[in-house]
């Protein structure tokens, strides 16, 4: 079975599956890192402030699968020659974090520390960061798990974030960040920069595919492109251009193509796979081509869209667009927004978005 799949990949001009995860130690990891220029600029700015003894802690915030962990690992690779980076995959309990942090600040190895009360241990950690001549960056992934910690421990962490002379960089899901911020009012004071990671654009989506396909391409079959540009666009749309979800859907489409021994993946093939899903079929069954196109345009634009904009893109009257939107609203695919004046604006519902991402 494995050899059969490999043969079919080779007929597509590929040596391997392009959509498998690239771990940070993979030499191609940096190559598949796409479009986080704004986030990296803010990170570099924070590092410049840190060099001048001003800590501007950063919170990277976004929905699941948007690429927060990938961004953190990329940052570590970029700065590890100039800064000492300690990455935590998830938050530790307060005392354990302080002990590991102290060991890292001092020698980079685990050391025995006295059995102090939490506040005393926190004070020791803060003092160590002020006396250390090392530029230290603590990176905490999956920060939303702080919701599971006792309140007094979270308060202890916030005190460290605000008083320690080291740089803290965290990654947190959007909804949970709001919950934490409302529950612990001082948390936002501890992180000067709140950077929200956005979905890819269509351009980023094409770059994502081009790079991954080029790294997996068979050199003996240059020029073979198993995914058409329009099929890539459709994959991007139906994953809301969220990188992790996009990779999942592309992987699913590729598997279906390999199963059917299909060497070319076009828009029709991708749509058939998406539309036959029980969840999707219940929402779009009976919709005509223009109604589906209106839905796809709203997803691709990723902003509220007006009758006028849809009318111009689809090349139909506003009256026709009104009919399309009424149908999408009835299916709970779209919602009309409250907007000033007579201009009506529409967007995809959160409920429908959750079905896709």
Which residue, of 196, 223, 256, is where some domain finishes?
Answer: 196
Asked if residue 16 belongs to a domain, the reply is: no
CATH of the domain at 54: 3.40.50.300
pLDDT at 327: 93
Residue 322 resides in a domain: yes
pLDDT tens digits, residue range 146-171? 999 999 999 999 999 999 999 999 99
191 and 319 co-located in one domain: no
Q: How confident is the model at residue 7 (pLDDT cuts 50, 70, 90)?
A: confident
* Same domain, residue pair 66 and 187: yes
Same domain assignment for residues 45 and 175: yes
Q: What is the number of other CB atoms lying within 10 angstroms of the CB of residue 68? A: 23
Q: Is residue 146 part of a domain?
A: yes
DSSP string, 288-307: -HHHHHHHHHHHHH-S-EEH
The answer on 169 and 49 residing in a single domain is yes
- CA-based nearest residue to 254, from 243, 265, 266, 244: 265
pLDDT for 223 equals 52
pLDDT for position 116:
66
pLDDT confidence of residue 110 = 45
Q: Count how many domains the chain has.
A: 2
What's the domain range around 324? 286-357
Phi, psi for residue 265 in degrees, rounded to 5: -110, 110
Query: Is the separation of the CB atoms in 102 and 164 below 8 Å?
Result: no
Domain stops at, among 196, 223, 258: 196
pLDDT higher than 90, residue 305: yes
Rounded to 5 degrees, what angle do the CA atoms 130, 121, 50 make? 25
Answer whether 164's CB lies under 8 Å from 126's CB.
Answer: yes
DSSP string covering 188-221, please?
HHH-SEEEEPPPPPHHHHHHHHHHHHHHHB-GGG
The reported pTM is 0.90
Among the candidates 196, 216, 239, a domain finishes at 196
Q: Which single residue is written with the structure tokens 């490999």?
A: 6
Kindly tell me if the per-residue pLDDT of 111 is higher than 70. Answer: no
pLDDT (average), residues 305-311: 92
Note whether residue 182 is domain-resident: yes
What single DSSP character describes residue 146? G
Kindly state whether residues 306 and 183 are assigned to the same domain. no
Give the contacts of 218 (CB within 8 A, at least 6 positions apart).
10, 13, 14, 15, 224
347 lies in some domain: yes
Same-domain check for residues 192 and 297: no
In a domain, 279, yes or no: no
Nearest alpha carbon to residue 136 among 76, 202, 205: 76
- CA distance to 26, 55, 122, 160, per residue, from 129 (Å): 32, 12, 11, 10
Cβ within 8 Å of residue 40, ≥6 positions away: 75, 78
Residue 215 lies in a domain: no
> Is 105 part of any domain?
yes
Same-domain status, 189 and 290: no
CATH number of the domain to which 318 belongs: 1.10.10.10
Question: Is 173 in the same domain as 306?
Answer: no
Work out the mean pLDDT of the chain and round it to a whole number: 90
């Amino acid at each position: 079975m494995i050899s059969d799949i490999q043969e079919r990949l080779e007929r597509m001009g590929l040596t391997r599956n392009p959509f498998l995860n690239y771990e940070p130690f993979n030499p191609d990891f940096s190559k598949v890192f796409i479009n986080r220029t704004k986030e990296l600029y803010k990170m570099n700015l924070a590092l410049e402030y840190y060099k001048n003894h001003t800590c501007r802690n950063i919170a990277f915030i976004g929905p699941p699968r948007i690429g927060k962990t990938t961004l953190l690992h990329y940052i570590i690779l970029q700065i590890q020659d100039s800064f000492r980076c300690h990455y935590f995959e998830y938050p530790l309990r307060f005392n354990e974090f302080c002990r590991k942090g102290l060991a890292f600040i001092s020698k980079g190895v685990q050391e025995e520390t006295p059995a102090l009360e939490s506040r005393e241990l926190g004070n020791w950690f803060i003092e160590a960061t002020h006396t250390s001549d090392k530029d230290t960056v603590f990176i905490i992934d999956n920060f939303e798990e702080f919701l599971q910690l006792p309140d007094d421990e979270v308060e202890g962490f916030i005190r460290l974030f605000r008083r320690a002379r080291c740089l803290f960089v965290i990654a947190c899901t959007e909804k949970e960040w709001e919950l934490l911020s409302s529950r612990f009012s001082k948390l936002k004071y501890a992180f000067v920069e709140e950077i929200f990671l956005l979905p890819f654009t269509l351009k980023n989506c094409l770059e994502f595919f081009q790079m991954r396909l080029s790294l997996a391409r068979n050199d003996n079959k240059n020029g073979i492109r198993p995914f058409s540009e329009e099929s890539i666009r459709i994959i991007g749309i139906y994953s809301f251009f969220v990188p992790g979800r996009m990779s999942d859907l592309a992987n699913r489409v590729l598997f279906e193509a390999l199963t059917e021994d299909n060497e070319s993946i076009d828009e029709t093939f991708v749509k058939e796979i998406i539309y036959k899903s029980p969840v999707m079929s219940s929402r779009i069954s009976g919709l005509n081509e223009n109604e589906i196109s209106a839905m796809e345009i709203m997803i691709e634009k990723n902003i509220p869209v007006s009758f006028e904009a849809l009318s111009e893109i689809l090349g139909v009257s506003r009256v026709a667009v009104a009919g399309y939107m009424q149908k999408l609203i009835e299916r709970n695919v779209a919602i009309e927004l409250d907007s000033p004046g007579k201009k009506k604006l529409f967007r995809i519902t959160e409920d429908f978005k959750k079905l896709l991402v």
